[in-house]
Homo-oligomer: A and B are copies of this chain.
Amino acid sequence: MNMDRASLIPALTNIATRLRIDSVRATSEAGSGHPTSCMSMADLTAALFFAEMRFDPKDPKNPESDRFVLSKGHAAPILYAAWAEAGAFDRAELMKLRQIGSDLEGHPTPRLPFVDVATGSLGQGICAAIGTALNARRIRSDYRTYVLLGDGESAEGSVWEAADVATMDKLDNLCGITDVNALGQSRPTMWEHDMGQFERRWKAFGWHAIVIDGHDMAQILDALAEAKATKGQPTMILARTIKEKGEELDRALAELEKQFVPVPEGGPAANLAGQIPKPPSKPHGVDNPKPVAAPAYTLGDLVATREAYGTALAKLAEADPRVVALDADVKNSTFSDRFEKVAPERFYQNFIAEQVMVGAAMGLAARGAIPFPSTFACFLTRAADFVRMAAVSNVGIKLAGSHAGVSIGEDGPSQMALEDLAMYRAQPNYAVLYPSDAVSAERLLALMAYHPGPAYMRTSRPKTPVIYGNDDTFTIGGLKVLRESAADVATVIGAGITVFEALKAYDQLKAAGTAIRVIDLYSLQPIDQAALVAAGRATGGHLLTVEDHYAAGGIGDAVAEAVADAGLTVQRLAVREIPRSGKPEELVERFGISAKHIVEAVKGMKVRS
| Chain A residues within CB distance 8 Å of chain B | 30-33, 73, 98-100, 102, 105-107, 109, 111, 118-123, 152-153, 155-161, 164, 168, 184-187, 189-190, 200-201, 203-205, 327, 329-333, 337, 349-356, 378-379, 381-382, 384-385, 388-389, 391-392, 394, 410-415, 418-419, 422-423, 425-429, 525, 550-554, 556-558, 560-561, 564-565, 567-572, 575-578, 580-583, 586-587, 590
Q: How many copies does the complex hold?
A: 2
Given contacts A98-B581, A557-B560, 17 further A-B contacts (CB under 8 A): A100-B580, A120-B411, A153-B352, A155-B161, A157-B159, A160-B160, A186-B329, A186-B333, A190-B351, A379-B385, A391-B578, A423-B426, A426-B550, A426-B552, A553-B553, A556-B561, A564-B572
Q: Among B155, B569, B576, point to the contact of A567 (Cβ < 8 A).
A: B569
CB distance from A206 to the nearest CB of B (A): 8
Q: Which residues of B contact A160 (CB under 8 A)?
A: 157, 160
Contact B561 A419 (CB under 8 A): no
Q: With a CB–CB cut-off of 8 A, which chain B residues contact A427?
A: 419, 550
12 contacts between A and B (CB under 8 A): A98-B581, A99-B582, A106-B412, A120-B414, A121-B382, A152-B329, A155-B350, A382-B384, A384-B423, A425-B552, A428-B551, A552-B558
- Nearest chain-B residue to A418 (Cβ)? B426
A410 to B101, CA, bound (A): 12
> Judging by beta carbons under 8 Å apart, are B352 and A106 in contact?
no
The verdict on A394 contacting B578 (CB below 8 Å), with A106-B411, A426-B422 known, is: yes
A449 and B556 CA atoms in complex are apart in Å by: 31
- Cα-based distance from A67 to B22 in the complex (angstroms): 55
**Contact flag A569-B572 (CB < 8 Å), given A155-B350, A200-B204, A422-B422:** no
| Contact, CB under 8 Å: B99 / A353 | no
Partner of A388, one of B105, B152, B378, B564: B378
Please state if B187 and A553 are interface contacts (CB–CB under 8 Å).
no
* Complex contact A333–B552 (CB within 8 A): no
Residues in B with CB closer than 8 Å to A411 are 32, 106-107, 120
Chain B residue, CB-CB nearest to A590: B100
